[in-house]
Amino acid sequence: MPWKIDSVYKQKNAPKLPVRLWFGKFSAWKSLMGGRTTEQYYSKRVGAFLDAFPKRKSLEQFTSTDVADFRLLQRKRGYSESVINREICAIRSFWQWLIDQKGLPLRNIAAKVYAPTWHFPKLSGPAPYRTLNEAEKLLAELPSLKAKRAVIGIMQGSRCASTVGKLREEIYAAAARAGLQNFRLVQFKLVTRSPLARDIIKAYCDQLLNALPVEPQPSSNTLTTVKAPTSDEWTTVSDYSNNLPTSGGVTEKQLGAEG
Spatial separation of the C-alpha atoms in residues 2 and 4, rounded to whole Å: 5
Q: State the distance between the two ends of the chain, measured CA to CA, in whole angstroms.
A: 94
Spatial contact of 244 and 252, defined as CB atoms under 8 Å apart: yes
Q: What is the pTM for the complete model shown?
A: 0.44
Q: pLDDT of the chain along its 259 residues, tens only?
A: 444 434 433 445 556 888 889 999 999 998 898 888 989 999 999 999 999 999 888 998 899 899 999 999 998 988 888 888 889 999 999 999 999 888 888 889 988 776 554 444 454 555 556 788 888 888 889 888 888 888 888 888 777 766 767 788 888 888 888 888 777 777 777 767 778 887 888 888 888 888 887 766 655 554 555 555 554 544 444 444 455 444 455 544 454 555 5
Spatial separation of the C-alpha atoms in residues 147 and 171, rounded to whole Å: 7
Spatial separation of the C-alpha atoms in residues 195 and 200, rounded to whole Å: 9
Q: Is 251 helix (H, G, I), strand (E, B) or coil?
A: strand
User: Percentage helix, strand, coil, to 5, in the chain?
Assistant: 60, 0, 40
Spatial separation of the C-alpha atoms in residues 42 and 22, rounded to whole Å: 13
Which stretch of DSSP H or E encloses residue 30? helix 19-34
All domains of the chain in start order, with CATH? 13-100 (1.10.150), 132-211 (no CATH)
Rg of the chain, C-alpha, whole Å: 33
